[in-house]
Amino acid sequence: MTHAPWPAPYSPQPLDATVTIPASKSLTNRYLVLAALADGECRLRAPLQSRDSDLMVGALRALGAVIREVPGTGSVPDLVVTPIPAGSPVDAVVDCGLAGTVMRFVPPLAALLKGPVTFDGDTAARVRPMAPIVAALQGLGVRVAGAEGGFMPFTVHGTGTVEGGHVAIDAGASSQFVSAILLVAARFSQGLHLEHTGESVPSVDHISMTVEVLRSLGVEVDDSTPKHWIVQPGPIAAFDVELEQDLSNAGPFLAAALATRGTVRIPNWPARTTQVGAKWREILPQFGATVTLEDGVLTVTGGPDILGVDIADTSELAPSTAALCALASTPSRLRGIAHLRGHETDRLAALVAEINALGGNAVETGDGLIITPAPLHGGLFRSYEDHRMATAGAIIGLAVPGVEVEDITTTNKTMPAFPRMWAAMVAQTAAAG
C-alpha cells in the first residue's frame, strides 16, 4: 500500500507547548511477556496501544495467554493477563510484523511450551538479525527448524520444558538478544548462565531495564560480572503495574523545542527510570538547550543556535539526535551506533541518504555518522517503514519549509497518534500567538 506524503508542519515561530506521551513500548512488551509466565493474573495499567504492542498481545494469545481489555483510569484500557499454563500444548503461527521485541522475546517463551510455533513477519523483518536467538535456543537443546542464514521464518519445536544452564551467544547486533533469554530464564529448570562472547553489547540500558523489571518481580539476577548474567530458577510474581510514558518517543517533541528555539514541556516525567530515553536530559543541553525537571514536568527550551555535538551510544535516540545535528550550526559526530544498521532499516545509511537529499552533509563512519552544517531545503524525506526515520523528518520539517515525510503511518509502530499530536503541538503555539 502506498501512502500520500505527509506535509511536515513548519513553525516559523518558537514553539510553546505541553505534550503528554503514551506509554513505553519497551516496558509494555516486557511486562506482557512476564505476565504470560507469571504465577497469577497480572494487570498492566495505561499500557501502550500501538502496532508493536498489538503484535505482542496477538503473539501471546496465540500461545495460550488470555488477555482482556478492561476500563482503566487513563485514556486507554488496562490489560488483564491470565498466564499461559506451564508446558501447554501449542501449534501456532506468530506474526511478528516489524517488532523486534516480538521476534526476539517470544521464541524463547515458545520453547517452554509443547509443540511447534512458527515465527514470521513483514518483508523488512526477514532481514533483521535473528541468528543469536536461534543459536541460544539450540544451545539450550531446543529444536529450531528453518532460520536460513539466521533470519525468519523459522519454527520453534518446544517440548514443554527447557533445562537451562550455561549458554554463550554474540549479542553484538542487539541488546534484545540478551533481554529475550533473560525474560524467560527463571522458568528454565536449572535457571540460566548467559554469556556474551562479543566485544560489547549495544544499548546496555535496555538490558538494565530487563534486569530491574525481573528483580522487581522476585527473580534473582546476578549481573555483577561484565558480559555474564546468571538467573536463578523460580517463580515470576504476579503484578499490577502502571506503565511509564515512552521517553524515547518523547524525543522528537523535545527536539522540536530546539528546532524552533522554543519551549516544550512534558508532564509526568519520572525522576528515576530504566528507560534509555532518560538520556535526553543529558543529550539536549549539549545542543545548547536549557533542560529542567521540576514537579515532574520536564521543560526544554532551545538556545539561540543548535550547537554541534560529539556523542556516543545514542542507540534508538540516534535518528532524532541526527535530525538536530542536521540543523546545527557546527559539525557533529555520533559514535557507538553501528548496530543501528540492523534496526527496522539500516538507519545509518537511511539518515545519510535523507539528510543529504535535503541539501545536508552527512557521511557514515564505521560506527556512526559525521554531520556537517549545510543549507537545507524542502523535499521528500523517505521513512523506510521505520517510525524513527519518519519522526526525524518531522523534526527537520519544523525548521525547513516544504519537507514531506514519505509515510507517516510508520509511526503506528509505537505511537499511532503521532501526526495528530505533532499538529496539536504546533497548533498550541499558533493559538497562544
Report d(CA 187, CA 208) in Å as an integer. 20
Which of 244, 316, 344, 385 is an active site residue? 316
Backbone angles phi, psi at 230, to 5 degrees: -120, 120
C-alpha neighbours within 13 Å on the C-beta side of residue 105 = 32
Cβ(37)–Cβ(187) below 8 Å: yes
Q: Round the CA-based radius of gyration of the chain to a whole number and report it.
A: 21
Q: How far is CA 384 from CA 88, 164, 331, 426, in A?
A: 39, 38, 26, 25
What single-letter DSSP state applies at residue 212? H
β-strand pairing of 228-231 with 154-159: unpaired
CA 35 remoteness from chain centre = 19
For 76, other C-beta atoms within 10 Å of its C-beta total: 16
**d(Cα 424, Cα 430) in Å, to the nearest integer?**
10
Q: Which residues pair with 333 in a beta bridge?
A: 310, 370
Residue 302: φ, ψ to 5°: -70, 150
Say how many C-beta atoms besides its own lie within 10 A of residue 4's C-beta. Answer: 9
Cβ-based neighbours of 374, under 8 Å, separated by 6 or more: 359, 360, 361
Residue that is written with C-alpha cell 539518515 in the block: 351
* 85 φ, ψ (degrees, to nearest 5): -60, 140
The span from the CA of 95 to the CA of 25, in Å, is 17
The yes-or-no answer on residue 316 being catalytic is yes
Neighbours of 204 (CB within 10 A): 15
> Active-site positions?
316
